[in-house]
Every structure is written in structure tokens, then in C-alpha cells.
Amino acid sequence: MRLSYILLLLVGFVVMAEAHPHVFADVSVKAVFSQDAFTGVQNRWTFDEVYSAAMFASADENGDGKITGNEIDEVKRLVLDPLQQSGYFNYVTVESKFAPAQKIEGFSATMKNGKLVLDFKVAYSIPATSEYTMLVIVVSDQTNYIQMTTDMENADVDAPDGLDVEFFPDEVRGLTLFRAFRSDTEGLFLRFKK
């Protein structure tokens, strides 16, 4: 009886250890629109110092203390390419379906105050119509390997004057498509029309 209790405790500790994040990132987002469509989510990920130092050591091949040229591509390959299957942790719902992320645009990687900062747009193509289209944008790692603190309170929208866009941040708790997400996950709720 005591041995099975100890084994149960050990299994519990192993599971808890696996559930803890290993990387931390502060995230900001901006919803981007063209004249006719929602075109993507502009992301800025600022990583913790430990992860940043390790990534910088891997990427700075020429030892000049900067991330330049091919080193930027290497950071993208190491950090974002493995996330392609999960939409780069960008989740956009249109009405009641997840929209597929198309590609990464405008990727840059820099070091600021000892932290790795990634800027990139995850491209989507969701046309505007004369009726409101409802979107919810969430940036989150559901594996909890990266603890992403997404600042939805300061999320922004870049839209031309010809589009009517309304938005506000809120928790996604209770939304069917987001039931697998942590209960404190926030999203950016939008509606837009021509």
C-alpha cells in the first residue's frame, strides 16, 4: 500500500514537472486589415533572458554580438518553423471555425536589453463583406512549453478608413472552440465589415 502511494506521488511529480513552462515570452498583437480583408496578426514576442542567451549563442555564428543576415533566418528556423503545424500559436476563429494560418511575413529578430525580440506577421485571408464578420484572436502555447503572457488589453488594430472594425479584449472561457485553452487565456474579439 505504501509503495503504491509513493509511486503515485512520483508519477504526480513527473506529470507536474512536464506541465511547467521552460520558456517565457511577453507577447503583443495587432490585427491587420487591407481595404478588403483581415490579412493577419502582427506579433511581437519578447523572450526571457535565459532562453534569449541560449538562442543568441546558437544564432550568432560570426560572433559579432548581433543577429544579422543568415542568422535571422536561423532564429526563424529554430523558433518558428517547428510551430508551423500549430499556426505559430496564433489561433483565429471565424464565426465557429479556426482559420488556417497561411505563412509568416516580415520576420525580424533582434536583441534588446538582453532579450530576444521577434517581430512577424502571421498571414490570413478573411474577406470583408457588407455584413459583420466575427473574429477571435488568441496567441497561446497550449503545450505550456512557452508561457506566453499576451497583453490583449493593449492589443491594436491597423485598418483602413473604409472598413468598420470594432474590437475588445476578453477571456475566451466558455467559448466552445477554446475549451482546451487555459481558463485565464484572453482573446481579442473583433467584428468588421465594409
pLDDT in tens, 35-76: 999 999 999 999 999 999 999 999 989 988 889 999 999 999
Q: What nine digits make up the cell of 182?
A: 487555459
pTM: 0.87
Q: Is the pLDDT higher at 22 or at 102?
A: 102
pLDDT single digits (tens) 157-180 = 999 999 999 999 999 998 999 998
Residue 43: closest CA among 77, 5, 91: 91
Query: What domains lie within the chain, and their CATH numbers?
Result: 22-193 (2.70.170)
Query: CA separation (Å) from 35 to 66, 121, 165, 166?
Result: 37, 17, 12, 15
Q: What residues form DSSP beta bridges with 31?
A: 41, 157
Residues found in the chain: 194
